[in-house]
Amino acid sequence: MDALLSVGMQVAKFLGPYLPSLLKGGSSGAESDSGFEKARALWGLLGQKPEVAEVAQAAAESPDESRLGALGEAISKVLSQSPDLLEKITSMVPGLDQDLVGKLTSSLGGGAGEGDSSAGDVVSGLKNLLGK
């Protein structure tokens, strides 16, 4: 699996349980969940992208694997066009490999790691999709 698609899928899986509340404006009791605030902040960045919002609506109505997969693809497409957004979401998704995101951000031409040859040289997790 492409590394950027893997990141998109992780983001979609994280958002999945929160989508109904996020799309309704956060009004179903999910606010007490410790991950909800991170999901809300993440949705604040991604939900304004029409291609993500449209697919998220379908995933919220029926959160099966195919709809979450489509959401992951839409998210990865948006992230591929916005390295700065990719960098911003790194700390918002629990378990997201920060070294991998750093490598992806650099390869997409953005982020603070540009020109820093030591940034992300060691990649752990995600089955070492990128390595040096």
Q: What is the pLDDT along the chain (132 residues), one digit of tens a residue?
A: 588 999 999 999 999 999 999 998 765 555 567 789 999 999 999 999 999 999 999 999 988 899 999 999 999 999 999 988 988 888 888 888 777 787 888 888 765 444 443 344 444 443 444 443
Domain that holds residue 71: 3-94
Residue 105 inside a domain? The answer is: no
* Alpha-carbon span 67 to 72, nearest angstrom: 9
Residue 49 inside a domain? The answer is: yes
Number of other residues whose CB lies within 10 A of the CB of residue 60? 20
- Structural contact between residues 123 and 96, judged by C-beta atoms closer than 8 angstroms: no
Domains contained in the chain, number: 1
3-class SS of residue 33: coil
pLDDT at residue 126, as a whole number? 39
Residue 36 inside a domain? The answer is: yes
Residue 46 inside a domain? The answer is: yes
pLDDT at residue 116, as a whole number? 40
Residue 122 inside a domain? The answer is: no
Residue 43 inside a domain? The answer is: yes
Residue 38 inside a domain? The answer is: yes
pTM value is 0.75
